[in-house]
Amino acid sequence: MRAPDRIFGGYVFDLDGTVYLGDELLPGAAETLAELKRLSRVVYLTNKPLETPADYAAKLTRLGLETSPEEVVSSTDALLRYLEAHAPGARLFVIGEYPLLSLLRAAGYPVVDEAEGVEVVVVSFDRTFDYRKLRVAFDAVRAGARIVATNPDAYCPTANGGLPDCAAMLAAVEACTGVLAEAIVGKPSEHMAATLLDRLGVSAQDALLVGDRLATDVRMAKRTGMHAALVLTGATGPEEALKSSEEPDYVIGSLRELLPENIERS
C-alpha cells in the first residue's frame, strides 16, 4: 500500500468500482473529489456505453458531486474520435443500446438495422444482444465490413456481482466470422488515452489515473506515461494486485488516501 505524497496537475477517475458502486458513492469519494477539484483539474472516465456523458454527469451531480457533461469521457467519445479518423461517414450496424445509437446518429453516422451496405460493425455492451443482431453482424462482416468495439471488459461490476460486458458480444462476432476487431477503442487503448488527455488539458506526466482494474486503468496509464493509482474498492483485490505484472505507482484502500497529509484543506 502506497499513497501519493503530492498533488497532480490533473486527475482521471474511473467511475464503476472507483467513485461509486451502483447508486452509492464509495467511502471518501465526496470529500476527496471536492477537495481535488478545488486544487486541480478532474475528469471522469468510463468504458461503459450504456449512458451518455450527460447521463453520467447527472448521476454524479445527483450523488453529490457537481459535474458537467464535459467532465465525463466515455468509450463512446473514443469511438467517435476513432471513426472520424478511420471511417468518416461510414454506414454502421451497431450491437449496442439506445444511448450509443443516438450519439452516433447525432454525430451524422447512418445507423442501419440490416447488413446490406454496412461498412463498420460497432460492437458494444448490449443487454439486448440476441441471435438476430449476431446474424446481421455475421452477414455484414462476411460481406466486407470491419469490426470496431467500444471496450474490452469481460464484465461490468455491480452491487450484485456483475454483468457480461462488451467482450462477450465481441467474442461471439469474432468467433462466427473469423475476423478480429481492427480496434477496441476504450480503456486501455491509445484512442481512449488521447481522448481523455485532450479533455484534461495537462501532460501525461502530470496526470494521475485512478481506477480499480489493473488490465484497463493501470495498463493504459502506464502505457501512455501517466501515473497510476489502483484503488481496492472494485474489481481488484489485494491478492490480485500483489500477483499482477502490472505495476501501479500507488495502491490505496479508498479515495481518501489521494490527499497528502500536508495539504491545506478547505
* Domains, the chain, with CATH or none: 10-47+187-258 (3.40.50.1000), 82-184 (3.40.50.1000)
Between residues 266 and 175, which one has the greater pLDDT? Answer: 175
**CA angle 60–66–67, rounded 5-degree value:** 70
The per-residue pLDDT for range 212-250, each reduced to its tens digit, is 988 889 999 999 999 999 998 877 777 776 777 778 999
Give the model's pLDDT for residue 51. Answer: 87
In this prediction, residue 3 carries a pLDDT of: 87
C-alpha cell at 108: 451524422
Q: Within 13 Å, how many C-alpha atoms sit on residue 165's CB side?
A: 20
pLDDT, one tens digit per residue, over 122-146 is: 999 999 999 999 999 999 999 999 9
Question: pLDDT by residue (tens digit) across 215-225?
Answer: 889 999 999 99
pLDDT at residue 15 above 80? Answer: yes
Q: Answer whether residue 83 shows pLDDT above 90.
A: yes
Rounded Cα–Cα distance for residues 130 and 127 (Å): 9
